[in-house]
Amino acid sequence: MSSPPGLAIFVLWWLVAELVSDSILKGVKASLHACPGVCICASDLLSCVSRSLSTLPPGLPSTATSLDLSHNSLRQLQSRWLAQLPRLRILRVDHNHISHVADGAFHNASKLTHLDLSSNRLHSVEGHFFQELTYLQELLLYNNQIQRVDSRALSRLSSVQKVYLSWNHLTDFPFTALREDSLPQLQIMDISSNRLSSIPIDEVAALPRAVKNGLYLHNNPFTCDCTLYNMFLHWEKSGFNSVHDFRGEHTCLALRQPRASLRFLKHRKRFENCTLAAHGLIGLGDTTSVGVVGEPVLIGCETKLQSQQTTYLWISPNKELISDSFNQTFRLYHNGSLEIRKVRKEDAGIYTCVAIDKLLMRNETREVNVTVRPSRQHGEGFNTGFTTLLGCVVSLVLVLIYLFMTPCRCWCRLPTNPSPPNECSAHSSTLSATPPCYNEVGRKSATGKHVVFLEPVKDCQNGKIRLAVSEEFPDIKHPKIHQLKSDSDSISSVFSDTPIIQ
């Protein structure tokens, strides 16, 4: 029994469709996993290094997330040139001859997180270069011929953390583009080894602390200046990595002479006369304020924006905006100062002041590190009272030792010659520095203060002191020792330091 013609046609059509779809699927799979002969493919990694390529090779697998085209002969990056690699995250095109980046070159590669354009022939960084790269985290542009960076070139890089622009020909740089509101994730901005002869100190000093910590400016031909020196000195004392890591490579030119290069952070004798006050840098850097628990402390917002249109905002160490809701703890003044009414231990930390001038379309930030000390009543007052009490106790002990342990011996006996009564009393020469000496008639010729240790007994002759051992007979083995004589004629003479003449 023969089958109907319609059924045969349907079966034939189904077989043709299967063959076509199978071939299409095989082609798609082949395109997904194809690898050009000039490249090396490993899973989602593509390496086309040192192949003398002037254009992107065709047939690259669309699953690639990393592409290495370094050490080739690429001269420009055309618009949408990465359209066949939608998953690309890492792109290396270093060591080529790239001098031009077309508008929309990264339109189809907006998910890039790492871009290496180092060691090429770029002369500038224009505003349209990286507009699509909102996920970019690392940008390598070192060792080019860049002379200018457009202020808008980095404005869209909201996720960027590290930018390397060293070893170029920069004579100027838009430091205002590094503000926290435009590049909140920025950790490293390397502008070292360029041709900067000076920098805008006010703009650089107003940058956030995290940016200054990673702002590398060493090995530039700066003109030696006290203001510049004091800024780097302040950064060094603050422990910024940008100065600490390359301390010996911070140089400046004396009298603008290329041969007179000074390592000013190592050899500071030429800058001994530079002071912060003389050059107005006291308020430019981060400052420190010390508060005492329970007492008020006033923090100033020292910025260059001091017009009547300037408004101020303060941010607490907990990253909270200080406003009227904090009126129990803080007080805001019209000049930008912030008062902590009663300082607590938890109030310590870094306070950030933001000065905004809407008329000039400018803003500046300052950071103040507030440290808190214990209350004087419980700290310094206690220490002072304890010290005073301890001093009194020690003095009393010394007096008791002096009164009861003085090694003074006194023998009472009648002299052979008539003289004033000899008795052991408080009026004797207990406090005499030397035993009292007597003249020929037995009267006392001098008194003094006694010390703890007894001294050799001395005698007097014609108003002069002489040793008890006869100087005329030095060979006598048992010298005659004169006994201590007491004198009760005058009580006032006991503590006298001068001789009494009668």
- Sequential DSSP letters for 401-438: HHHHS----------SS--S----STTSGGG-SSPPPB
> Which residue ranges form the domains of the chain, and what is each CATH number?
35-279 (3.80.10.10), 287-373 (2.60.40.10), 406-502 (no CATH)
Q: Tell me which DSSP letter residue 54 carries.
A: S
Range with the largest mean pLDDT of 3-17, 88-102, 171-185, 264-278? 88-102
Question: Which of the pair, 183 or 377, is modelled with greater confidence?
Answer: 183
Predicted local distance difference test score (pLDDT) of residue 313: 81
Amino acid at 475: D
Environment class of residue 162 by beta-carbon count within 10 Å: exposed (0-12), middle (13-18) or buried (19+)?
A: middle
Q: How far apart are the first and last CA of the chain?
A: 172
What distance separates the 2 farthest-apart alpha carbons in the chain?
A: 178
Range with the largest mean pLDDT of 144-153, 266-275, 332-341, 455-464? 144-153
Res 302 pLDDT > 50 = yes
Predicted local distance difference test score (pLDDT) of residue 450: 42
Give CA–CA dist 205/301, Å, rounded: 13
Per-residue pLDDT band at 352 (split at 50, 70, 90)? confident
Please give the model's pTM, rounded to 2 decimal places.
0.55
Total residue length of the chain: 502
Q: Are 347 and 291 in contact (CB under 8 A)?
A: yes
CA distances from 197 to 12, 80, 144, 221, 245 (A): 81, 39, 19, 5, 21
- Report which secondary-structure segment, H or E, holds 388: helix 380-404
Predicted local distance difference test score (pLDDT) of residue 377: 55
Res 428 pLDDT > 80 = no
Predicted local distance difference test score (pLDDT) of residue 330: 86
* Best CA proximity match to 305, nearest among 366, 370, 368: 366
Per-residue pLDDT band at 273 (split at 50, 70, 90)? low
Predicted local distance difference test score (pLDDT) of residue 316: 82
284-298, 345-359, 376-390 — which is least confidently predicted?
376-390
Predicted local distance difference test score (pLDDT) of residue 46: 94
Question: Which of the pair, 213 or 303, is modelled with greater confidence?
Answer: 213
